[in-house]
Structure 1
Amino acid sequence: MKLCFLSLVSNTPKLLYLFFGLGVSALEANLSSLNQSENRRIEQEKLQKLEESFIPTLKASPKAPLQNQEFAYPIEEIAIIGNTILSPKVLQKWRNQYKLLKDIQSLQKAIHHLENLYLNKGYINTRIKVDLSQANSPQAKLTLRVLEGKIDKYLFNDKENLLKSTLTFPRRKNQYFNIYDIDQGVDNLSNLAKISINPSSKLGYSIVNVETPKKLDLEGKLNYNNLGQSTTGKARARISLNSKDFLGLNESLLFYYQQRLNPKKTKNNAKNYILSLAFPFGYYHLGYSYENSHYKQELYALNRIYTAQGDSTTQNLYLSKVLYRDGSAKLDLKVNLALKKIDNLLDNYHLTLSSRRLSVISMESSYLGRIANGLMSASVGLHQGLKHFKANKDNEWYRTPSTPEAKFLKYSYSLSWYKPFNTYYYKIDFSGQFTKDILYSNEKLYIGDDTTIRGFQNNGLQGDKGFYLRNELGINLKHIKPFIAYDRGRIKNSYGLEDYGRELQGISVGAKIIYKSLEASLTFSRALKYPKTLLVNGKEIYTSITWNF
């Protein structure tokens, strides 16, 4: 990228550095878009895995009713013995629905309803025994004896391991057998682990045995793509490694590195890497991640070439908890502390005006579940800038009414729904953020890449608030998924004369190919609507090839 500053008549270094410091967006667009795009791409790949394994719910065939027979005396009293799980309020509501049982079918319906009250809460090993010994008298009485299933012990490779079982499975009062606790344990375990549930010698108890083969659970990906920007290199190579339970603590370790191909042939380059570690314990997750992005770019001004460089590091420390889960949905709450540091240099001179330290505390709730026989993912978040941990204090000497604020408040939201049909599928993604504050570039929303609005690879838009909407309709074939997509997004700044913001629209057609351990995608995109001041190619071709090992 070449920038000519004809209005500058002096080549005084301090003046030039001041100009670059004030022109924050010119030097930071690469870092901001790179960070946001790669984080979005990682999340989109995780969601795509879930979508590929998603199976719509099939309608269950109704149970054949028992041969009906009326009771000699209608049952007016129902006694329940052995229940400690369902509350008296729930049982009373159930009794009110079945005050008078006249025949076998009405009894079957009542018991089936009571069983579902346990099953819907995950207590699948609970059994109900029907006692009709007092049903053949004028004061007919039905006695239901509840045997609540419990867990005797957890075994790992047929041996007890207190530390491992505590980290893996949530603990429940009285050790009730709950399938959702087992599901959470499966999520916490290595992908190679297998769970078997066996009866115990104790009546009503079960033994959960986890088999973990002595094999490293390691997944890797090698990727080539042309999703970079022309100023820092379109062709890029990426490697990611994901291991689980290497230390025997159910931990997840992720390493991700990406940079342009042939970086030695040019001085323009962009690269980034991510290292994250997470430990699950029951319904909780404790994690830490370190992210680094770097770009290098040559700028032409005042009859000479300047070298601009930028480094961005983000450290995240988070704690999350599963607030609710059942057989079709899960609700999480996550609290995250992010320490962000951005340094920009021009010919190795530090640009104070466009460098910063930010501390951000976030609280985000996310949902994943089945809605309308499709897979839905949604989240809402609150993000507050702090003045602690060496963050900027918003009292710098160069501040103006339009200077971004380190202490800010913004809200984020996202919604994704994937709906498979017999052969076709439809997917919609909606995401955005809102704030009244003026944000630094790494807190702004960036749109205009393959993860937001396709068709604007080299130049996108940034704003304090905005949204993007992605629509995709495709065909599910055995090894190939042709699709057509329409994307739209709008951003707006908190300070300025923009009444309605700026908008991008793009349309795409392409195909995703999956064959054994290879994945590839080819997308043709065209920009439909954009501001006249934005330089775009009009047409873009996105390519990505991945080998999974």
Structure 2
Amino acid sequence: MKKIIIFLMFSHMVWATESREESYHSTQPSVNSISHIIEKSDEFETHLSPQCLNISSVYIQGNTIFSNDNLPRIIKKLNECITIEHVNKLMRDIKNKYISNGYIMVAVDTLPLNKKRELGISIIEGAVERIDGTDNRTNPHFLFPGVQGKPLRLSEIDQAIDQANRLQSNQVTLNLLPGSEQGMSIINVNNIDAKPWLLSTSVDNYGYKNVDEWQGKTSLTWDSPFKLSDLVTVNFNRTLENSKNRYKYHYTLFYSVPYGAYTFSTTLNKSQSRRYEKLKYQTIMLSNNNERYRIENKYTFHRNSQQINSASANIEHKKINAFINEAKLNINSYQNTVLELGVNHYRKIPNGGINAYLSIEKGIPWLDANRADKQNNRFLPRSDFIKNSIMLSLYRNFRLADSDYQWNSVLAGQYSHRILPGYEQLNLTERGAVRGFSRSGLTGDNGWYSRNTISRYLFIKEMVLIPRLGADAGRALQRKNKEGWRSHAGISTGVSLHYKNALFDLESSRGWHLSEKYHKKEPLQFLFRASYTF
């Protein structure tokens, strides 16, 4: 029998049968290539003479995935007899039906004539006998839940490999080998031997001027701490300036565990800060402490060689406390709970990909909502808001003047009919939105921004140099604000240098306030980042 190696789209899965190997070096041969191979194996049958078969009818058995009504049938002219060609075509069509739906282990054969001279078509749908080769970082019960003894689908293999390779220490491939019985397969999991942890540290000046400009960041990731193919990450950020003048601490604990098409995760986030602001006659102290708890479930409901579709639901509780000289600032202090439902679509395009995420968020009055709700003041933010968001992203590789480039573009926006709490507003001047701002901010209940970057990869011995250019723009509207829509734009240029485990990044950027009523100017800023991964 044949041994075929197939490289899948979103993984590097290996498919095997029994004797010789054929390697497909294209990035995604997928279903059409499999169909072509199966059709060639039947070509010798089509050379038989097209004579009539002495059979009364044809029946199908062994199909559990599709009903008989959904399977191909013999199509012939009126008064035309059934020939070998009809039977061979029916068998090929049945195989292609299964394979086009992702069931790659199917086998189709004929059965001997029964007493009524009926010809049987036997379908062996192919099932998983067992899963071998797993280790502490590849738990088969969480990567392949419920597949043993059932027909194997290509999308389940893709999903399992994607889930396994979420862990930075994994480089998982799969071998599908013949089982001990006909129609049974053994999944053999192959993984590299690597340390399960990753520690990284970095320094940058990505914060706001006179608030948290220079920061030190440390991140520790541990793969499969409970041997469930799970993941835990701990992040700690703090300002590097004299803490007597100002400081900001930020802690994050993230945990994620897969279960087939599901991914469950939880995030705990805590931060506190303090700084002093000089006024005309006095100096005041501004401080705050924030807590956020989030639980999320993501479900991949459909995927194939060209797209991945998923839905997510998460609930997040936020507690924000703001103070001026130890006195609580109630208008900026609140706690509320937000329910978010979202759907995500990824599609492969030539030399790139497109991703679209749509979500709706609803504030729910749990655990002491904002007091403005009780006051029923339409000029204050309320916790029972509804917010709609969208984020579209595109990346594409292209060639220009004999050089390879990559284009990345993000378009994001949100809309709400009510005034939103501060943490729910769209921030146009944060690091991931419009570049070039470090001294002033722009937020809004409604708004959008577009972020665009063109870059080039240069490989120089053991180094990778990535120069880039960027141009961004955005608009924001704060409800009940007489200024109306305000616009921002920014440009940037930078370069990243990767050398083994070290990364250095330099960027120069400049932002502009385009609204007539807003005259505060942003100077040319220079950003620096250095990081090292152990």
- The one-letter code of the counterpart of 1:530 is L
Question: Could you report, residue by residue, the CA deviation over 1:92-136 in whole angstroms, capped at 9, with x for unpaired residues?
Answer: 4x76699999999999887665434323332222223478x99xx
Aligned to 2:417: 436
Aligned to 2:324: 346
Deviation (angstroms), 1:530: 2.6
Between Structure 1 and Structure 2, which shows a larger proportion of helix residues? 1
Deviation (angstroms), 1:147: 2.1
- The one-letter code of the counterpart of 1:546 is S
- The one-letter code of the counterpart of 1:294 is Q
Aligned to 1:293: 271
Q: Is the 8 A contact 1:193 1:210 kept in 2?
A: no
- The one-letter code of the counterpart of 1:350 is K
C-alpha separation in 2, matches of 1:477 and 1:101: 66
Aligned to 2:439: 458
Aligned to 1:147: 124
C-alpha separation in 2, matches of 1:280 and 1:185: 9
Q: Is the 8 A contact 1:170 1:283 kept in 2?
A: no
**In structure 1, the residue corresponding to 2:427 is in which secondary structure?**
strand
Which structure has more RCO (C-alpha within 8 Å, separation ≥ 6)? 1
1:178 aligned onto 2:157? no
C-alpha separation in 1, matches of 2:75 and 2:131: 39
C-alpha separation in 2, matches of 1:167 and 1:198: 21
C-alpha separation in 2, matches of 1:456 and 1:262: 20
1:188 aligned onto 2:169? no
Aligned to 2:397: 420
Q: Is the 8 A contact 1:466 1:492 kept in 2?
A: yes
**In structure 1, the residue corresponding to 2:263 is in which secondary structure?**
strand
Question: Could you report, residue by residue, the CA deviation over 1:58-109 in whole angstroms, capped at 9, with x for unpaired residues?
Answer: 89998797698585348998754433223444424x7669999999999988
Q: Which moved more, 1:166-175 or 1:436-445?
A: 166-175
C-alpha separation in 2, matches of 1:330 and 1:145: 33
Distance 1:268 1:105, change over 3 A: farther
Which segments of 5 or more consecutive residues in structure 1 lack a partner in the other structure? 1-49, 135-139
Aligned to 2:234: 255
C-alpha separation in 1, matches of 2:77 and 2:70: 13
Question: Could you report, residue by residue, the CA deviation over 1:458-517 in whole angstroms, capped at 9, with x for unpaired residues?
Answer: 222100011111122222332122222221111112323355x11111122222332322
Q: Is the 8 A contact 2:274 2:287 kept in 1?
A: yes
Aligned to 1:91: 71
1:474 aligned onto 2:455? yes
C-alpha separation in 2, matches of 1:407 and 1:347: 30
Aligned to 1:10: none
Question: Could you report, residue by residue, the CA deviation over 1:220-247 in whole angstroms, capped at 9, with x for unpaired residues?
Answer: 2222221111112322211112212111
1:364 aligned onto 2:345? no
**In structure 1, the residue corresponding to 2:380 is in which secondary structure?**
coil
Aligned alpha-carbon RMSD (Å): 3.7
Distance 1:459 1:79, change over 3 A: farther
**In structure 2, the residue corresponding to 1:175 is in which secondary structure?**
coil
Aligned to 1:166: 141
Question: Could you report, residue by residue, the CA deviation over 1:171-199 in whole angstroms, capped at 9, with x for unpaired residues?
Answer: 25951122322333333335437444332
Distance 1:313 1:107, change over 3 A: same
- The one-letter code of the counterpart of 2:406 is Y
C-alpha separation in 1, matches of 2:479 and 2:62: 62
- The one-letter code of the counterpart of 1:460 is G
Percent identity for Structure 1 against Structure 2: 21
- The one-letter code of the counterpart of 1:487 is D
Aligned to 1:14: none
**In structure 2, the residue corresponding to 1:521 is in which secondary structure?**
strand
Aligned to 2:362: 384
Aligned to 1:483: 468
- The one-letter code of the counterpart of 1:251 is D
Q: So what's the TM-score if we normalise by structure 2? A: 0.79
**In structure 1, the residue corresponding to 2:431 is in which secondary structure?**
coil
Deviation (angstroms), 1:289: 0.9
1:235 aligned onto 2:235? no
Distance 1:102 1:220, change over 3 A: farther
Q: Is the 8 A contact 1:419 1:425 kept in 2?
A: yes
Question: Could you report, residue by residue, the CA deviation over 1:496-545 in whole angstroms, capped at 9, with x for unpaired residues?
Answer: 3355x111111222223323222333222232553352523242223222
1:309 aligned onto 2:287? yes
Deviation (angstroms), 1:210: 3.9
C-alpha separation in 2, matches of 1:158 and 1:284: 21
Question: Could you report, residue by residue, the CA deviation over 1:372-412 in whole angstroms, capped at 9, with x for unpaired residues?
Answer: 44222221111000111222254455x64311111100111
Aligned to 2:180: 201
Aligned to 1:326: 304
Equivalent of residue 408 in structure 1, options 366, 377, 385: 385
C-alpha separation in 1, matches of 2:272 and 2:387: 26
C-alpha separation in 1, matches of 2:454 and 2:258: 36
C-alpha separation in 1, matches of 2:383 and 2:292: 15
Distance 1:303 1:284, change over 3 A: same
Q: Is the 8 A contact 2:373 2:382 kept in 1?
A: no
C-alpha separation in 1, matches of 2:29 and 2:152: 26
**In structure 2, the residue corresponding to 1:72 is in which secondary structure?**
coil
Q: So what's the TM-score if we normalise by structure 1? A: 0.77
C-alpha separation in 1, matches of 2:52 and 2:408: 53
**In structure 1, the residue corresponding to 2:71 is in which secondary structure?**
helix
Which segments of 5 or more consecutive residues in structure 2 lack a partner in the other structure? 1-9, 11-25
